[in-house]
Amino acid sequence: MYTIDFYETINGYCPVESWLSDLTPTKQRAVYAALTEILEQEGPNVCGSFWGASLGDGLFELRIRHNEQQIRALTRQPKPGGAKSNPEKILLRIFCHAYGDKIVVLLGAYDKSAHDKAPYQQKQINQAKKRLADFKRRLKRAG
């Protein structure tokens, strides 16, 4: 099992936590289900699966396309009530990096249903790469 860690800037700002707080409750529940039922279980092994893809240089993305109940049903850990459809479109991306002994750091995220244009997506990937470089630099200094 993997431990999820949130990237923080040198000033203590956590971009993924900030992003999460701005999501609708339905999307927040979907993210938490994906983190606990998929990412904590699979870590970087989500790459190449339905749930993720490698973006190179140690960066990968977790793809969330389902609501909480659907995620739990797909991972065979349903909650009472079963998988219910939801009219809210869910198409979320979380950028991650695995390091150390089964730890995954969350570097950035965005709602692809709200920002589906390639330039915006590339900007988010580039930002995650900068955060990864900062994370590695500070990790090296600390170690």
What pLDDT score was predicted for residue 86? Answer: 57
Which residue ranges make up each domain of the chain?
Answer: 3-142
Distances (CA, A) of 64 to 11, 13, 140: 29, 24, 31
Confidence of residue 84 (pLDDT cuts 50, 70, 90): low
Residue 103 has pLDDT above 60, yes or no: yes
Q: Is 40 exposed, middle or buried (0-12, 13-18, 19+ CB in 10 A)?
A: middle
Whether the per-residue pLDDT at 138 is higher than 90: the answer is: yes
Residue with tokens 């995954």: 104
Q: How far, in Å, are 11, 20, 51, 86 from residue 6 at the CA level?
A: 14, 12, 19, 28
- Whole-prediction pTM: 0.90
